[in-house]
Structure 1
Amino acid sequence: MAYMTKEGYDKMVAQLRQMELVDRPAASAAIAEARDKGDLSENSEYEAAKEAQAMLEMKINELKAAVASAKILDTSHLKGDIVQILSTVEIKNVKNNTLMKYTIVSESEANLREGKISSTTPIAQGLLGHKVGEVVDIKIPQGSVQLEIMSISI
């Protein structure tokens, strides 16, 4: 089960529709076009089109499974006193006083450029369940980092 926002769910459903209604027919057309070019045993264009179609079908099946198992979170029931999924957390690196702000989201919605980190990352895992003012020691691939929770919002 994947927890996500309504926005993330809608985006995933739109992507699935695009793949099923536009990309799938285009892949079939590419196969048909390549097939019309002659001997299939030596037709690399045909093989490439078949491989692209197989990859597309795999992605469609993954998205269908994700949509089917999605659990949309209602932000009106979330509390702002502890870090949880969909919390926006401002943290400070205790060692160098660097301030960072992240929103903890599902893996499918993570986008570091937008400040959204997956709830499965070491930083998010270390912050979940903690409160403002707490200093959390988090194990990261480079070792360990101490982060102080400055604020939490929904």
Structure 2
Amino acid sequence: MSRSIPMTEEGHRLLQEELKNLIRVERPKVVQEIAEARDHGDLSENAEYDAAKNRQGFIEGRIKELNDKIARAEVIDPATLTGDKVLFGAKVTLFDIDIENEVTYQIVGEDEADIKKGKISVTSPVGKALIGRSLDTEVRIAVPSGVKIYEITEICYE
């Protein structure tokens, strides 16, 4: 049995848009590139043909991957959630005890994670450590630079 993949509505929409682009734009484009490369003659020494075939393989693999992820998607709308525990989709404000600084992260699916936008994966070390924790809880998280100590100062669902 395949496991479901949690994602927000935005993450699901972005995967669908990427899939649509690959099928409607990129796939026909690479087929055309292969046809043009064939017209140049000997395929055994044709770098354009090899590059186009490699690109086609990548596109077909990505289409298959996206179809699988979309089929197994468990779309979660954080706005429908409430509570004082960190769940998928929560925006969590943490106080870094070492440097006395606040940071806010949203817990999202793997494909949506973007640290620059404050979105961390539910499967990341920080995401795993936060899930199920309550407001005002101290959390110790092993990171490459050592152990970070955070206090959860706010949890919101929007």
Q: TM-score range by the shorter chain?
A: over 0.9
Aligned residues: 154
Q: Following the alignment from structure 1 to structure 2, what is the Cα–Cα distance between the partners of residues 113 and 24?
A: 30
TM-score of the superposed pair, with normalisation by structure 1: 0.96
Unaligned runs of 5+ in 2: none
Q: Following the alignment from structure 1 to structure 2, what is the Cα–Cα distance between the partners of residues 76 and 147?
A: 25
Structure 1 residue 63, shift from structure 2 partner: 0.6
Structure 1 residue 142, shift from structure 2 partner: 1.9
Tell me if the contact between 1:80 and 1:87 (Cα under 8 Å) persists in the aligned partners.
Answer: no
Secondary structure in 2 aligned to 1:82?
coil
- Asked if 1:103 is matched to 2:106, the reply is yes
Structure 1 residue 75, shift from structure 2 partner: 2.9
Q: Following the alignment from structure 2 to structure 1, what is the Cα–Cα distance between the partners of residues 15 and 137?
A: 35
Matched ranges for 1:85-96 at <5 A: 85-96=88-99
What is the match of residue 124 of structure 1?
127
Structure 1 residue 74, shift from structure 2 partner: 3.3
What is the match of residue 30 of structure 1?
33
- Asked if 1:67 is matched to 2:94, the reply is no
Task: Provide Cα deviations, 1:28-63, integer angstroms capped at 9, x if missing partner.
Answer: 000000000011111111111111111111111111
Structure 1 residue 112, shift from structure 2 partner: 1.3
Q: Following the alignment from structure 1 to structure 2, what is the Cα–Cα distance between the partners of residues 41 and 11?
A: 38
TM-score of the superposed pair, with normalisation by structure 2: 0.93
Unaligned runs of 5+ in 1: none
Tell me if the contact between 2:78 and 2:90 (Cα under 8 Å) persists in the aligned partners.
Answer: no
The share of aligned pairs that are identical, in percent, is 38
Secondary structure in 2 aligned to 1:18?
helix
Q: Following the alignment from structure 1 to structure 2, what is the Cα–Cα distance between the partners of residues 76 and 142?
A: 34
Q: CA RMSD in A?
A: 1.1
Q: Following the alignment from structure 1 to structure 2, what is the Cα–Cα distance between the partners of residues 119 and 110?
A: 9
What amino acid is aligned across from residue 2 of structure 1 in structure 2? Answer: I
What amino acid is aligned across from residue 30 of structure 1 in structure 2? Answer: E
What amino acid is aligned across from residue 113 of structure 1 in structure 2? Answer: K
Structure 1 residue 6, shift from structure 2 partner: 1.5
- Asked if 1:40 is matched to 2:48, the reply is no
Secondary structure in 2 aligned to 1:54?
helix
What is the match of residue 7 of structure 2?
4
